[in-house]
């Protein structure tokens, strides 16, 4: 009996061990003891004009997130339930600049990629393909008791990150406004007495639109549904600007678009052709109101009409608390302009400058404005000036050398629209500079160490099509050395020069890297330790030397394509994980130490006739 009991107990223990093993969480990385969590971040794709670019979200904003595993190498289907994550709430903590999920979500294993879908504002869902949404009638209503205001509750945002491979990196969701916006600005015309216009009551209604919509959460596409609302939509108003969220739709020819009331006088605005509210765009109308001298009657004149990218609003996501103090300056007199506006420069945190500034003003901001956190230079003109020795310093449209060197308080920057050069050490070691970085169109050159060690620039990097030089022609670089950008790197077609260590240790860059055809120089360690790069790499025809450690310890795991014009490949240039056949250039003269160490090339290797030397460990571990 005792023997049978022992056997039974042993069998039960074995069964329990097997059962426990079978119930192992699907999020555990294969064969490992620890689970790898999925980390998310969000940012709204919009133009920041009136407020600080804080990514667009504020404290306690809540988004809904779906995460779908790939199946058999193909994207999985987004379903209402049964995804890796299904409508999980993620809440933003502004103090820590971090999003936290209602619960932790883990990767399936170490190989399975995911698609991530996000939307705002969060709501319970009954359908993926036809999510019922309605913009609010009264968008002037402010938020209260934890509820969103009418405008913000109407502003649907959607974003998607595709085929994200398992890693510890933060997955950045770029959200876009998926509705449309009508913005009507009323401006004072002729005939009014001083102060009369300001005292007049003004109102705008957006009329003849459908307020209900069906949204496909797979694509973010919005379709107007239901009937045209009998009553108009009430926009929010500020400083003569009326702005309302509208469901994308077409309004037929001759139909009233707006009902505008000034001092009790009603004006109906309509167009003689069909009008379409376009998704993700702003429709801007500026209407001037004149007062007839003889009769006192009002005349309404359309001054301008345009469709533009979505600009940040001045009401949602705690925008009022983050508005800029706007100062118009003359070159070299920023300090005086701030004092004239009755502001204490020592206390200013969010500053927008218009007019002109020069290097003296940059030095003043760097050395004297200790609390400066957010700076908007979008509308400013940078001009040169004569120093005490009569020298011109520096040139027009250039951010001067060391402009914000080691400026620890600076967190946000919007660069001038009119800009050609960003000087050496301009933002060097600005370790608290956060978010994404957009280099404006027109910039031709970014000089050495301009953004070196800006470790908290963890958003996206957008380079202009006009860019030709990253670093200086004397081989100095380190432009973005040790930055934290989390994105695919898109290099512009006109780029000729990448200086030494330009993207060194930018470990969060990911995806494929396409080097532009016009590229002539790739410096030492230019992409060293960019471990997130994958796929194949092709060297452009104009590059004849691959300098030391240019792609050392990158993550490339595809084919390496070298052209016959390459004559020298220096030490550790391609210490990566390339595979497939390696075809060496016909004119190759020198292969230095460790050039292809750690790669996985296969097939036949033919050595060029002109090859004079092969360094130690050139093909090590292949």
Domains and CATH numbers, the chain: 40-177 (2.60.40.2620), 180-309 (2.60.40.2630)
Query: Could you report the average pLDDT of every consecutive run of 10 residues in the chain (622 residues)?
Result: 38 39 37 71 60 60 95 96 96 80 94 95 94 96 78 93 87 90 95 92 96 98 97 90 96 96 94 94 95 89 89 54 77 95 92 94 96 92 79 84 96 93 96 91 96 92 95 80 92 97 95 96 97 95 97 96 96 95 95 94 92 92 80
Q: How many other C-beta atoms are found inside a 10 Å radius of the C-beta of residue 319?
A: 18
Which of 204, 255, 258 lies closest to 234 in space, CA to CA? 204
The dihedrals phi and psi of 72, each to the nearest 5 degrees, come to: 60, 35
How high is the pLDDT of residue 459? 83
Q: How far apart are CA 438 and CA 482, in angstroms?
A: 17
In angstroms and rounded to an integer, the radius of gyration of the C-alpha atoms of the chain is: 29
Instruction: Quote the DSSP letter at residue 253.
Output: T
H or E element, residue 236: strand 236-238
What are 122-163's pLDDT values in tens digits? Answer: 999 999 999 999 999 999 987 766 678 899 899 999 999 999
Whose tokens are 């109101």? That residue is 289
H or E element, residue 366: helix 359-368
Sheet hosting strand 85-93, strand order edge to edge = 40-44, 171-177, 157-164, 114-120, 62-69, 85-93, 98-101
Residue 288: exposed, middle, or buried by beta-carbon count in 10 A (0-12, 13-18, 19+)?
middle
Question: Is 492 in a helix, a strand, or coil?
Answer: coil
Which of 358, 362, 474 lies closest to 410 in space, CA to CA? 362
What are 272-317's pLDDT values in tens digits? Answer: 999 999 999 999 999 999 999 888 899 999 999 999 878 766 555 5
Q: What is the DSSP code string of 433-462?
A: --S-EEPPTT--EE-TTTTTT-TT--S-EE
Angle (CA) 90 92 96, round 5°? 130
The residues near 189 (Cβ < 8 Å, ≥ 6 apart) are 288, 289, 290, 291, 299, 301
Peptide bond into 157 cis (omega under 30): no
Q: How far apart are CA 248 and CA 178, in angstroms?
A: 8
Which of 65, 47, 52, 50 lies closest to 172 in space, CA to CA? 65
Q: How many other C-beta atoms are found inside a 10 Å radius of the C-beta of residue 219?
A: 13
Q: How far apart are CA 189 and CA 287, in angstroms?
A: 9
């Amino acid at each position: 009996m005792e023997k049978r009991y022992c056997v039974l107990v042993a069998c039960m223990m074995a069964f329990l061990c097997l059962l426990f093993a079978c119930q192992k969480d699907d999020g555990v990385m294969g064969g490992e003891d620890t689970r790898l969590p999925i980390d998310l971040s969000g940012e709204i794709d919009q133009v920041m004009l009136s407020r600080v670019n804080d990514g667009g979200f504020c404290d306690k904003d809540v988004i809904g997130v779906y995460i779908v595993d790939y199946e058999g190498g193909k994207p999985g289907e987004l379903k209402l339930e049964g995804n890796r994550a299904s409508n999980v709430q993620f809440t933003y903590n502004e103090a820590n600049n971090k999003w936290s999920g209602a619960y932790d979500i883990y990767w399936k294993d170490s190989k399975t990629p995911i698609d991530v879908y996000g939307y705002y504002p969060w709501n319970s869902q009954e359908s993926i393909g036809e999510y019922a949404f309605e913009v609010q009638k009264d968008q002037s209503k402010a938020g209260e008791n934890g509820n969103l205001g009418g405008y913000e509750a109407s502003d649907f945002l959607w974003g998607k990150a595709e085929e994200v491979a398992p890693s510890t990196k933060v997955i950045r969701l770029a959200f876009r406004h998926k509705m449309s916006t009508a913005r009507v600005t009323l401006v004072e015309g002729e005939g009014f007495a001083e102060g009369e216009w300001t005292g007049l009551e003004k109102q705008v209604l957006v009329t003849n639109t459908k307020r209900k919509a069906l949204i496909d959460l797979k694509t973010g596409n919005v379709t107007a549904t239901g009937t045209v609302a009998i009553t108009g939509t009430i926009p929010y108003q500020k400083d003569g600007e009326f702005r309302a969220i509208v469901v994308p739709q077409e309004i037929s020819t001759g139909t009233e678009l707006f009902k505008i009331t000034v001092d009790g006088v009603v004006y109906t605005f309509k167009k003689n052709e069909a009008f379409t509210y376009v998704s993700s765009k702003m429709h801007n109308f500026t209407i001037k109101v004149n007062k007839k001298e003889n009769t006192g009657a009002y005349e309404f004149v359309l001054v301008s009409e345009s469709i533009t990218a979505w600009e940040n609003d001045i009401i949602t996501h705690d925008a009022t608390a983050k508005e800029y103090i706007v100062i118009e300056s003359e070159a070299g007199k920023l300090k005086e302009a701030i004092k004239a506006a009755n502001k204490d420069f020592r206390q200013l945190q969010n500053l927008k400058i218009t007019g002109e500034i020069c290097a003296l003003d940059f030095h003043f901001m760097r050395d004297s404005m200790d609390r400066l956190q957010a700076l908007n230079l979008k509308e400013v003109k940078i001009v040169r000036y004569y120093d005490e020795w009569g020298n011109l310093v520096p040139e027009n449209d250039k951010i001067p050398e060391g402009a914000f060197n080691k400026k620890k308080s600076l967190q946000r920057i919007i660069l001038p629209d009119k800009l050609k050069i960003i000087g050496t050490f301009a933002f060097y070691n600005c370790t608290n500079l956060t978010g994404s970085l957009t280099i404006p169109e027109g910039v031709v050159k970014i000089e050495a160490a301009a953004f070196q060690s800006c470790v908290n620039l963890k958003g996206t990097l957008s380079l202009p099509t006009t860019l030709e030089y990253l670093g200086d022609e004397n081989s100095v670089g380190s432009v973005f050395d040790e930055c934290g950008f989390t994105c695919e790197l898109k290099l512009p077609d006109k780029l000729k020069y990448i200086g030494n260590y330009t993207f060194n240790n930018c470990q969060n860059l990911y995806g494929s890297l396409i080097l532009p055809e016009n590229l002539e120089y790739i410096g030492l360690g230019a992409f060293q330790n960019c471990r997130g790069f994958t796929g194949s790499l092709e060297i452009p025809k104009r590059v004849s030397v691959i300098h030391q450690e240019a792609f050392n310890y990158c993550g490339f795991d595809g084919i390496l394509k070298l052209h016959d014009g390459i004559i020298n490949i220096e030490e550790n240039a391609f210490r990566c994980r390339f595979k497939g056949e390696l075809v060496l250039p016909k004119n190759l003269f020198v292969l230095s130490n460790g050039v292809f160490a750690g790669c996985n090339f296969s097939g036949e290797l033919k050595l060029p006739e002109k090859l004079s030397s092969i360094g130690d460990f050139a093909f090590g571990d292949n």
